[in-house]
């Protein structure tokens, strides 16, 4: 083998080794980048899964919140209805109390007027009372008159000993 051949051989061999080493470095760099990319992809996938779970939880909580809101709306309308009915009941109770007070006052007034009437009737004479109220006092004061026939008037009563 010649020196030129040997030099060319070593030069080509050196070029090939350098190329292989360069390719090896490039390949290792690509592998490292791929590993980093894989790790980042796995991290991103984990974050995505976590966010998807949080989204589902938020979605279910939003549904629950909507149902609670609907119940609260129903409760507030029931509360308003209760308040309306309570105020109506209070108003009617106030009216009933006022009417009861008026009734009691009228009953007291009637009782006092009856007492006054009784005092006046005791003071007044029966003839004046007949003139004022003939239905009430006319029936009480009428004397009982026996029905006598004409023959009884002219009959001689011998029992008492007189003929006249």
- Between residues 146 and 78, the one the model is more confident about: 78
Q: Do the domain assignments include residue 52?
A: yes
Q: Which two tokens stand for residue 11?
A: 């030069």
Question: Confidence class of residue 88 from pLDDT cuts 50, 70 and 90?
Answer: very high
16 neighbors 23 (Cβ within 8 angstroms): no
Q: Do the domain assignments include residue 141?
A: no
Q: Do the domain assignments include residue 78?
A: yes
**Residue whose pair of structure tokens reads 């080509």 in the numeric block:** 12
Q: Do the domain assignments include residue 61?
A: yes
Q: Do the domain assignments include residue 33?
A: yes
Residue 66: per-residue pLDDT = 92
Give the integer Cα–Cα distance in Å for 75 and 81.
10
Q: Do the domain assignments include residue 158?
A: no
pLDDT of 86 higher than 90: yes
Which structural domain range is residue 87 located in? 3-109
Q: Do the domain assignments include residue 14?
A: yes
Domain count, the chain: 1
Q: Do the domain assignments include residue 63?
A: yes
If you average pLDDT over residues 102-118, what whole number do you get? 94
Give the integer Cα–Cα distance in Å for 150 and 51.
130
Give the integer Cα–Cα distance in Å for 77 and 81.
6
What pTM value is reported for the model?
A: 0.39
């Amino acid at each position: 083998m010649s020196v030129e051949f040997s030099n060319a051989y070593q030069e080509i061999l050196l070029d090939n080794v350098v190329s292989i080493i360069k390719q090896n470095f490039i390949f290792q760099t690509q592998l490292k980048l791929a590993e980093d990319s894989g790790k980042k992809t796995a991290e991103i996938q984990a974050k995505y899964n976590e966010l998807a779970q949080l989204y589902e939880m938020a979605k279910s909580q939003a549904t629950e919140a909507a149902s609670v809101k609907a119940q609260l709306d129903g409760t507030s309308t029931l509360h308003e209805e209760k308040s309306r009915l309570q105020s109506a009941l209070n108003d009617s109770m106030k009216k009933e109390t006022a009417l009861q007070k008026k009734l009691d006052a009228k009953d007291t007034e009637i009782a006092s007027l009856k007492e006054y009437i009784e005092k006046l009737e005791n003071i007044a004479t029966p003839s004046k009372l007949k003139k004022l109220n003939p239905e009430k006092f006319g029936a009480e004061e009428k004397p009982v008159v026996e029905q006598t026939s004409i023959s009884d008037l002219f009959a001689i009563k011998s029992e008492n000993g007189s003929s006249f």
